[in-house]
Structure formats: C-alpha cells, structure tokens
C-alpha cells in the first residue's frame, strides 16, 4: 500500500518495504440528540456531517543510525506543513482510496538503530474508493 498526503509520500509501498501496519479507519457521523421533559425516548437527528479518522504506522529503513535519528526528528515538521487529500493506492490491486479535506492531527516519530518509526493520525471528510488504476 502506498500513501500520499498532498504531494508528500508517507509510505512508499511494497517495492521499498514500506507498507503501513496497524491500519485503522473510523467513520463517525455528526448526530444531535434531543431530550425533552416527560418523553420516554430521546430523538436523534443526523446532521449529515461525516468525519473519518485514519491511523497507521510506517517503518523506514535508513543508511545509518544518524540518518534514522535525523529523519525522526525532522519528519513531523515536514508533514505538518502539508495540505491536500490523503491518497492511498492498494497493492497489488491498484485501487485508489481518497480521504477528502484531510488534516494531520498527530504524528509520533522515533528511531531505533537505522530504522525510523512513525504513527500518523489523520482526520478528514468523505472516504471513497475508486476503480483500479492498473
């Protein structure tokens, strides 16, 4: 699976041994609850707003311990400046998934030896799947 946030690559996929893991998708609709005095039930009103949160982890292998540490230290600042949709390309199917109006809410980065580890928490609107690219 390849993942791009705007023009920035977050996971380069199978070819680079950068497939995301612990991948989670949570969708939540905005619902207003109305409670009235002396009624047996509450009423729920769907406000039509959809929020989707995508969370995943990626590990990246580097040429040296120093490069892994430098990447872990600088990566969050680079990602925080990005805007645009989150685009996911399924491998090997080539199916394209898009999270519209995406924003990074949290990034966690660390390193061990010559490997950096990153956890991304991204929130957006509608999450869609398109036909296969290939």
How many domains, in total, are found in the chain?
Answer: 1
Residue 111 lies inside a defined structural domain of this protein: yes
pLDDT value at residue 82: 84
Question: Across the strands, what pairs with 60?
Answer: 116
Is the Cα dihedral 7, 13, 16, 22 positive or negative?
A: positive
The answer to whether 3 touches 88, Cβ cutoff 8 Å, is yes
Task: Specify the length of the chain in residues.
Answer: 134
Residue 43 lies inside a defined structural domain of this protein: no
Grade residue 38 by pLDDT with cuts at 50, 70 and 90.
confident
The answer to whether 94 touches 133, Cβ cutoff 8 Å, is yes
Residue 38 lies inside a defined structural domain of this protein: no
Residue 23 lies inside a defined structural domain of this protein: yes
Residue 81 lies inside a defined structural domain of this protein: yes
Which range marks the domain in which residue 101 is found?
Answer: 2-29+50-132
pLDDT value at residue 40: 80
Residue 40 lies inside a defined structural domain of this protein: no
Q: Global pTM?
A: 0.82
Nearest to 75 by CA among 93, 91, 89, 62: 62
Residue 85 lies inside a defined structural domain of this protein: yes
Distance of CA 2 to the CA centre of its chain: 11
CATH number at residue 23: 2.40.30
pLDDT tens track for 79-131: 988 888 999 999 888 899 999 889 999 999 999 999 999 999 999 988 888 87
Residue 41 lies inside a defined structural domain of this protein: no
């Amino acid at each position: 699976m390849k993942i791009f946030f705007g023009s920035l690559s977050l996971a380069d996929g199978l070819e680079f041994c950068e497939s995301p893991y612990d991948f989670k998708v949570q969708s939540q609709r905005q619902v207003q609850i109305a409670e009235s005095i002396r009624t047996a039930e509450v009423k729920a009103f769907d406000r039509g707003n959809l929020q989707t949160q995508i969370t995943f982890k990626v590990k990246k292998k580097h040429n040296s311990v120093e490069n892994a540490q430098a990447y872990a230290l600088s990566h969050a600042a680079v990602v925080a400046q990005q805007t645009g949709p989150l685009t996911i390309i399924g491998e090997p199917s080539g199916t394209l998934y898009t999270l519209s109006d995406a924003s990074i809410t949290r990034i966690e980065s660390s390193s061990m030896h010559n490997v950096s580890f990153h956890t991304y928490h991204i929130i957006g609107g509608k999450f869609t799947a398109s036909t296969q690219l290939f």
